Amino acid sequence: MMSKISKRPNKATKSPPVSHVRIIGGEYRRRLVAFIDADGLRPTPDRVRETVFNWLADDLVNAKVLDCCAGSGVLGFEALSRGAKQLTCIEPNHEQCRQIKATQALLGIVDTKIVTMEATIQHALPQLANTEPFDVVFIDPPYQLALWGTILHGLINHQLIHPQTLLYIESDQDHTQLLASFTASLEPLKYKKMGQIFAGIYQLKAL
């Protein structure tokens, strides 16, 4: 006689907790951007964003923008809010990519203005190699992954930036040491330490 084995119902997979950060300027001012509670995901604080976007100012109008490690996506959405014409977000976390697309829908941003790539930065940059260079690039990776050099090498090697491209770099380390190997190729335009955050705007040096 065959024994009956009772099957336990599968437990529903819990979605990660969701938090929100507010866009601080432009068309979508005060609108919320949702992000999940994930390791290494920490939206740039309001005070830092206000400084950075004051630095960028009119350079965002009609700009083609790349957010290399999108995380919450708030830097990219802030750029669109302030006049950027097109945004590419790179984010490897599946759930967070869903949140970015949900925010896009909530804000009513058409697909021609935003591309979300679910990939690591190492896989995404080669896929972008045949596209037009970007005008503004955000480089704000999870600090513990130390991807700044990898990203800069990828952007330069795949010709994704030009001498007029503005590179925003955010870190938890002084940029003098962090970017020491790029001293010959990067020109610092703006730099400031805000609390524990080091932020700067750079361009490629003219040859």
- pTM exceeds cut of 0.75: yes
State the Rg of the chain over Cα.
19
Tell whether 5 is covered by a domain: no
Tokens 């909530």 correspond to 106
Question: Quick one: pLDDT at residue 17?
Answer: 83
Could you tell me the pLDDT band of residue 98, with boundaries at 50, 70 and 90? very high
Tell whether 90 is covered by a domain: yes
In total, how many domains does the chain have? 1
Question: Quick one: pLDDT at residue 16?
Answer: 72
DSSP string of 106-169, one letter each residue: HHT--GGGEEEE-S-HHHHHHHTTTSPPEEEEEE---GGG--HHHHHHHHHHTT-EEEEEEEEE
94-109: b (≥16 Cβ within 10 Å) or e: eebbbbbbebbeebeb
pLDDT, mean of residues 146-150: 96
Of all residues in the chain, the percent with pLDDT exceeding 90 is 85
Tell whether 12 is covered by a domain: no
Tell whether 8 is covered by a domain: no
Return the CATH number at 47.
3.40.50.150
Q: Residue 25's closest CA among 63, 58, 68, 67?
A: 58
Report the SS3 class of residue 199: strand
Tell whether 9 is covered by a domain: no
Tell whether 11 is covered by a domain: no
> How far, in Å, are 73, 91, 118, 164, 202 from residue 45 at the CA level?
13, 19, 24, 26, 20
Tokens 């480089």 correspond to 139
Tell whether 6 is covered by a domain: no
Report the SS3 class of residue 44: coil
Residue numbers of the domain that contains 77 = 18-204
Tell me the pLDDT tens digit for each residue of 180-206. Answer: 999 999 999 999 999 999 999 999 997
